[in-house]
């Protein structure tokens, strides 16, 4: 057997025996011998004006990109940032007699302003069908040359559009992660205008909706005139024949606008009913202000909008939860707002006839207040009733909502009762090792070692440390299971743990700096998780002497569950050549697990 064969045989044995601690060997080729690029993939496309090239080679010798020698870590890893021109970019990486050719395409983030007598493709609004209420203001926009005269005609009315040359484009949400979160002046000239489309209720007859057709745009420039129709149609909803949406999924995803880019509102429990006051594409606008996808609802017609009276409210303890019941005539829309030692529940389309509320003394709530919220005259939203729960302890441990028929049940988690023998005895903790399976690797380090594997290694070490301290631990995965985020969320909701912690390691958008950026970061969404996120962030940074990347409020699937304080930890940057060595070091992994478990113990002490 030759020397190379012996090396390969030993390599296979080592990989099989040390899957949880090995990291240097994970790549299509051996990182000890070959030049390897972990990111970006071949023929990558991006809108960024720069990109980092992450990879590794043996420590001895130089690595160059397009003839320029690049810096590397002590272990031989690299992650330089290179500029990108619009269109095709080619990079040649060399190490000794090895060569890798990378093709990367940068695509434009903004459409190029038109110079001819024409509208920019797909710039006319609405681009999808929409419906509005009678008398509602509707706005139109089109991208056209600065000096063009633009108008739009609909239902016999003509609305002039004016050029808005000083418009600003907001950066993507991910810009917060790279420190480039500033509005940019747009070079595109948008022509915009708004108006009210006059209608008469007699036009509707028995129809629920009146189709006005596609807005017809007109552009005049240099004595030339063109006409073009928007792709979307506009309709007017009947003022007397009401459409009603009923939520048919367990949690209807309510949002601030008609797209998944818009912010989330409190999910609407199954059975919620509300009047439809607008449509756009696949979304419905509900009378209390939120938008929801039509396929999450059942649509019916009714002679009157769904409204309810409310009189009494009562509470009872069921297991680890305090259930507060609100009998209603209709399952109305709602929102929940958490504050320090307070939770505020608002029931919309609801009018109070309340004189008596039964609320016995309990271990969780000191008192509950209520007040009516009256809508200003002329607004479409209906009256609402607001309930404020004052907690005896500062920390809130979770809540959940459901409709039993038309009775709303708000369940509030009673603080866990710890036992005295071990610091976490009586506490149930869920650990979610992020990513998993061959289809969901997560971020990759310079050697190609995937985030999913180190997530699992550290999660298992943390599990052992928490059990030593008395906690009961549930793992969303113990191997390479193929789990979607919604599968993990379902486990959290079913297990109803006292704490939920998702373990991850970080990366950056293409325009980030993979060499300079490092450190621990923590993400939270519901206010009940804020103190846990801040405490663990500070504890890990100080105890481990690690850089702090920061604490972030973030709308992530694993931070959204309300049944428990839920946080997501990004414990370092896989793409940073130096930090990667700390991430995959078995001794540091063990130290991290011990420190994280100790941090949870210390935080729990503060809540008692």
CATH class of 36-106: mainly beta
Bin 87: left if φ > 0, else alpha if -120 < ψ < 50, else beta: left
Q: Show the beta-strand stretches assigned E in 260-364.
A: 268-269, 273-280, 283-286, 291-293, 297-302, 308-310, 314-318, 321-327, 334-339, 342-348, 350-352
Residue ranges per domain, the chain? 36-106, 124-197+208-233, 243-300, 308-413, 428-606
Per-residue pLDDT, averaged over 225-239, amounts to 94
3-state secondary structure of 532: helix
pLDDT at 357: 83
Tell me the percentage of the chain whose pLDDT exceeds 90.
76
Instruction: Look at residue 148 and tell me whether its pLDDT is greater than 60.
Output: yes
pLDDT at 480: 94
At the topology level, CATH places domain 308-413 in: Immunoglobulin-like (2.60.40)
CATH class of 243-300: mainly beta
Q: Predicted confidence band at 343 (pLDDT cuts at 50, 70, 90)?
A: very high
Q: pLDDT tens, 40-59? A: 999 999 999 999 999 999 99
Distance (Å, rounded) from C-alpha 57 to C-alpha 53?
A: 13
pLDDT at 31: 43
Per-residue pLDDT, averaged over 62-76, amounts to 96
Three-state secondary structure of 208-258: CEEEEECCEEEEEECCEEEEEECCCCEEEECCCCEEEEEECCCEECCECCC
pLDDT at 506: 97
Are 36-106 and 124-197+208-233 in the same CATH fold? yes
Instruction: Look at residue 112 and tell me whether its pLDDT is greater than 60.
Output: no
Instruction: Look at residue 141 and tell me whether its pLDDT is greater than 80.
Output: yes
Per-residue pLDDT, averaged over 398-419, amounts to 96
pLDDT at 202: 55
Q: Which of 289, 294, 148, 330 is nearest to 223 (CA)?
A: 148
Per-residue pLDDT, averaged over 494-508, amounts to 97
User: Environment class of residue 327 by beta-carbon count within 10 Å: exposed (0-12), middle (13-18) or buried (19+)?
Assistant: middle
pLDDT at 184: 65
Instruction: Look at residue 200 and tell me whether its pLDDT is greater than 70.
Output: no
pLDDT at 166: 63
Instruction: Look at residue 237 and tell me whether its pLDDT is greater than 80.
Output: yes
pLDDT at 165: 64
Tokens, residue 541: 């940074």
Higher pLDDT, residue 511 or 559: 559
Distance (Å, rounded) from C-alpha 146 to C-alpha 143?
A: 9
pLDDT at 355: 84
At the topology level, CATH places domain 428-606 in: Aminopeptidase (3.40.630)
Q: Predicted confidence band at 18 (pLDDT cuts at 50, 70, 90)?
A: very low
Mean pLDDT of the chain: 89
Q: Predicted confidence band at 22 (pLDDT cuts at 50, 70, 90)?
A: very low
- Does the 124-197+208-233 domain belong in CATH 3.30.70? no
Higher pLDDT, residue 169 or 456: 456
Per-residue pLDDT, averaged over 433-445, amounts to 95
What's the farthest any 2 CA atoms get from each other in the chain?
A: 93
Q: Predicted confidence band at 361 (pLDDT cuts at 50, 70, 90)?
A: confident
Q: Which of 545, 520, 548, 560 is nearest to 432 (CA)?
A: 560
Instruction: Look at residue 271 and tell me whether its pLDDT is greater than 80.
Output: yes
């Amino acid at each position: 057997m030759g020397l190379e064969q012996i090396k390969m045989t030993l390599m296979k044995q080592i990989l099989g025996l040390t899957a949880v601690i090995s990291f240097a060997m994970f790549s299509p080729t051996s990182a000890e011998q070959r030049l390897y690029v972990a990111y970006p993939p071949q023929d990558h496309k991006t809108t960024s004006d720069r990109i980092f090239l992450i990879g590794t080679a043996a420590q001895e010798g130089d690595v160059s990109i397009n003839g320029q020698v690049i810096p590397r870590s002590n272990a031989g890893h690299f992650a330089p940032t290179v500029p990108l021109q619009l269109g095709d970019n080619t990079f040649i990486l060399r190490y000794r007699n090895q060569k890798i050719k990378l093709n990367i395409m940068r695509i434009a983030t903004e459409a190029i302003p038109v110079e001819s007598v024409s509208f920019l493709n797909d710039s006319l609004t609405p681009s999808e069908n929409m419906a509005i209420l009678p008398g509602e203001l509707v706005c139109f926009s089109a991208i056209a040359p600065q000096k063009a005269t633009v108008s739009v005609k609909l239902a016999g009315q003509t609305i002039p559009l004016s050029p808005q040359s000083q418009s600003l484009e907001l950066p993507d949400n991910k810009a917060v992660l790279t420190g480039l979160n500033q509005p940019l002046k747009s070079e595109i000239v948008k022509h915009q205008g708004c108006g009210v489309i006059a209608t008469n209720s007699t036009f509707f007859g028995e129809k629920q909706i009146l189709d006005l057709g596609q807005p017809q745009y007109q552009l005049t420039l240099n004595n030339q005139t063109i006409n073009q129709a928007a792709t979307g149609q506009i309709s007017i909803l009947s003022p007397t024949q009401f459409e009603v949406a009923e939520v048919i999924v367990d949690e209807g995803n309510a949002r601030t606008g008609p797209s998944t880019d818009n912010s989330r509102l409190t999910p609407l429990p199954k059975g919620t009913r509300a009047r439809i006051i607008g449509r756009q594409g696949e979304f419905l606008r509900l009378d209390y202000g939120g938008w929801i996808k039509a396929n999450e609802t059942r649509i019916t017609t009714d002679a009157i909008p769904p409204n309810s009276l409310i009189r009494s409210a009562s509470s009872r303890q069921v297991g680890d939860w305090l259930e507060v019941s609100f009998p209603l005539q209709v399952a109305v829309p709602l929102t929940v707002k958490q504050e320090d030692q307070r939770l505020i529940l608002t029931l919309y389309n609801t009018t109070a006839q309340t004189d008596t509320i039964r609320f016995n003394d309990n271990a969780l709530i000191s008192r509950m207040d209520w007040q009516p919220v009256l809508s200003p005259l002329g607004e479409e939203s209906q009256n609402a009733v607001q309930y404020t729960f004052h907690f005896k302890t500062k920390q809130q441990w979770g809540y959940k909502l459901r409709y039993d028929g038309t009775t709303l049940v708000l369940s509030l988690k009673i603080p866990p009762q710890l036992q005295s023998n071990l610091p976490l005895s009586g506490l149930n903790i869920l650990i979610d090792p992020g990513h998993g399976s061959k289809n969901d690797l997560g971020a990759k380090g310079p050697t190609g070692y995937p985030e999913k594997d180190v997530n699992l290694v550290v999660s298992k070490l943390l599990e052992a440390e928490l059990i030593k301290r008395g906690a009961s631990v549930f793992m969303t995965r113990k191997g390479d299971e193929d789990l979607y985020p919604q599968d993990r969320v379902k486990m959290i909701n079913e297990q109803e743990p006292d704490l939920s912690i998702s373990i991850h390691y970080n990366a950056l958008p293409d325009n980030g700096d993979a060499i300079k950026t490092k450190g621990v970061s923590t993400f939270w969404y519901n206010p009940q998780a804020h103190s846990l996120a801040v405490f663990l962030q500070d504890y890990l940074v100080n105890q481990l002497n690690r850089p702090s990347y920061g604490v972030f409020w973030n709308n992530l699937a694993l931070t959204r569950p309300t049944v428990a304080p839920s946080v997501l930890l990004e414990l370092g940057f896989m793409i940073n050549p130096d930090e990667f060595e700390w991430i995959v070091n078995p001794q540091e992994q063990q130290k991290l697990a011990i420190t994280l478990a100790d941090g949870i113990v210390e935080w729990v002490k503060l809540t008692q």
